Amino acid sequence: MEMHKVFHMIGGEDEASYSQNSSQQRLILREVKPILKKCTDKLFRDMMEMDLPNNNCIKVADLGCCSGPNTFLTIQHIVQSIDEAWSQISDAELPNIQYFLNDLVSNDFNLVFKGLPQFYEELERKQNGRKYGSCHIAAMPGSFYGKLFPDGSMHFVHSSYCLHWLSQVPDGLIPESGKPRDKGSIYDDKASPSYVHQAFLDQFTRDFTMFLRMRSEEMVKHGQILLTFICKDSEEVEGSHYLSLMENALSDLVTEGYIEDKKLDTFNLPIYEPSIQEVKKIIENEESFKILKFQTFKTCLDAGFKSRTCDDEDNRMVRARYVATYLRAVFEPILASHFGETIMDSLFHRFENKLANVVEKRQGLLNNLVISLRKE
């Protein structure tokens, strides 16, 4: 599977697009905002002890920026945090910012660029003292598991809800011939045999280590990274994982004859939710970064849902549709590339029905990990 071709959120601004279905991820950004603020405070205090940045320009990257309102919300949060932190330590004019949006080459960057003139105007209006033309938003398309920027150039790197995506499905799960080793399963779940789990963990370890190594080369001394991604819950959680519901919906389509069972057996999502211990160990082994903050928080699958009035039954189904729709904006391109476009409606209809129970009982929580790191 060529990740750069098949993996992207649904582009554009239609009803089904990621851009219109990303309030869940927006909620995560809001939740992490106070930690972001602390990161930039620390960044400037550390920088003051050393040198001012080259050319009085702070270089920032958002890795896995996607497109739509969250892309801009992230820029706004980061610029605001930088400006507040700077104002606390210096009376001098705000530094210029060179801001790099990064995502895979199939991301809808055109959509973001079209919104830039309005965003720049708002930035100047909202941000006290931030002048038009003092923040330059560029794009660097490509995988963040490879090198993206010149050595020793970046001050602050941000990434939200991306690092649980692997660079590829681990090798060995989908044999060229013979029986697949994880029949019917589409991800590493609790019931996976240990060799399947190990294959996913190995891939995550390689990918996350490479992520850290590349950033280490690209960043200035004492540069900061802030990462948010989904991790395993250490406690026993009630209710099904949303991916197991997706797995069930696919199995139903096999039973009903819409999908060949071989087709399902040869499919795995390049997703891994690591344990906290696994993440810590990789960072320590890689040795470039010091962990400044390590925090988890839980969110309901429908946490970004806003509704005025619904009776209970409606509410249950409306919330399930909300969850199914935003997950469709994320998962449809990768599922459609394997199973075909035609069964997508049936699949997500079944998925939605399965979600209704989980949503009603407030089960199937997401466990989010936030880490801030400093390059030593």
Which residues make up the interface to a second copy (CB under 8 A)? 4, 54-57, 96, 98, 100, 105-110, 113-114, 116-117, 133, 136-142, 146-153
Which is nearer to a second copy, 98 or 275 (by Cβ)? 98
Token pair 């990434």 is at which residue? 159
Summary count for the chain: helices (H), strands (E):
11, 7
Smallest distance from the beta carbon of 310 to a second copy, in angstroms? Answer: 38
Closest CA to 161 of 321, 265, 24, 61: 24
Closest CA to 22 of 63, 71, 62: 71
Which is nearer to a second copy, 142 or 239 (by Cβ)? 142
Smallest distance from the beta carbon of 109 to a second copy, in angstroms? Answer: 5
Smallest distance from the beta carbon of 121 to a second copy, in angstroms? Answer: 12
**137 contacts: CB under 8 Å, gap ≥ 6:** 75, 99, 101, 116, 119
Tell me the Cα Rg of the chain.
21
Smallest distance from the beta carbon of 88 to a second copy, in angstroms? Answer: 23
**17 contacts: CB under 8 Å, gap ≥ 6:** 9, 10, 11, 68, 329
Closest CA to 230 of 316, 289, 154, 165: 165
Which is nearer to a second copy, 4 or 26 (by Cβ)? 4
Token pair 């590829």 is at which residue? 168
Which is nearer to a second copy, 209 or 363 (by Cβ)? 209
Which is nearer to a second copy, 100 or 187 (by Cβ)? 100
Smallest distance from the beta carbon of 113 to a second copy, in angstroms? Answer: 4
Smallest distance from the beta carbon of 12 to a second copy, in angstroms? Answer: 11
Which is nearer to a second copy, 148 or 283 (by Cβ)? 148
- What region does 24 belong to: left with phi over 0, alpha with psi -120 to 50, or beta? alpha
Which is nearer to a second copy, 133 or 178 (by Cβ)? 133
Which is nearer to a second copy, 139 or 276 (by Cβ)? 139
Which is nearer to a second copy, 106 or 192 (by Cβ)? 106
Closest CA to 210 of 319, 269, 311, 288: 288
What's the rounded Cα separation, in Å, for the pair 58 and 97?
5
Smallest distance from the beta carbon of 11 to a second copy, in angstroms? Answer: 8
End-to-end CA, the chain: 36
What's the rounded Cα separation, in Å, for the pair 211 and 214?
5
Which is nearer to a second copy, 27 or 210 (by Cβ)? 210
* Tokens linked to 202: 């190995």
Smallest distance from the beta carbon of 80 to a second copy, in angstroms? Answer: 20
Smallest distance from the beta carbon of 250 to a second copy, in angstroms? Answer: 29
Smallest distance from the beta carbon of 219 to a second copy, in angstroms? Answer: 12
Residues forming a β-bridge with 230: 368
Phi, psi dihedrals of residue 82, rounded to the nearest 5°: -60, -45
Which residue stretches of 157-218 are H helix? 194-218
Whether 190 contacts 197, CB under 8 Å: no
What's the rounded Cα separation, in Å, for the pair 310 and 316?
9
Which residue stretches of the chain are H helix? 3-6, 23-49, 69-89, 109-114, 116-126, 194-218, 242-255, 261-265, 276-286, 312-339, 344-360
